Amino acid sequence: MKKSLFTLLITCSSFFLPLNSLFACTRVVYKGPNGNVITARSMDWKDEIQANIWAFPRGMQRSGEVGPRSVEWTSKYGSVISSAWDIATVDGLNEKGLVANVLWLVESEYPKFDPKGSKKGISISAWAQYVLDNYATVEEAVQVLKKEPFVIVSDYVPGTKKFTTLHLSISDAKGDNAIFEYVKGKLMVHHSNKYTVMTNSPLFNEQLALDSYWKSVPGTMVLPGTNRAADRFVRASYYINAIPQTEDTRIAVASVFSVIRNCSVPFGISSETEPNISSTRWRSVADQKNMVYYFETALTPNTFWVNLKDFDLSNRGKVMKLDLSNYATYNGKTNGYFKETKAFKFLGI
Q: Which residues are catalytic?
A: 25
Question: Coil, strand or helix: which one is 247?
Answer: coil
The residues near 253 (Cβ < 8 Å, ≥ 6 apart) are 38, 285, 287, 294
Pair 110, 182: CB distance under 8 Å:
yes
Q: For residues 324 and 341, what is the distance between their CA atoms, to the nearest angstrom?
A: 14
Cβ contacts of 347 within 8 Å, gap of 6 or more = 65, 87, 88, 123, 125, 155, 158
Q: Which of 22, 55, 266, 49 is nearest to 167 (CA)?
A: 22
Beta carbons of 77 and 58 less than 8 angstroms apart = yes
Side chain identity, residue 175: G
Q: How many CB atoms within 10 Å of residue 296? A: 19
Q: Residues near 272 by Cβ (< 8 Å), separated by ≥ 6? A: none
Under 8 Å between Cβ of 166 and 129:
no
Bridge partners, residue 120, by sequence: none
Residue 79 pairs in a beta bridge with: 56, 94
Pairing of strands 332-333, 303-307: parallel
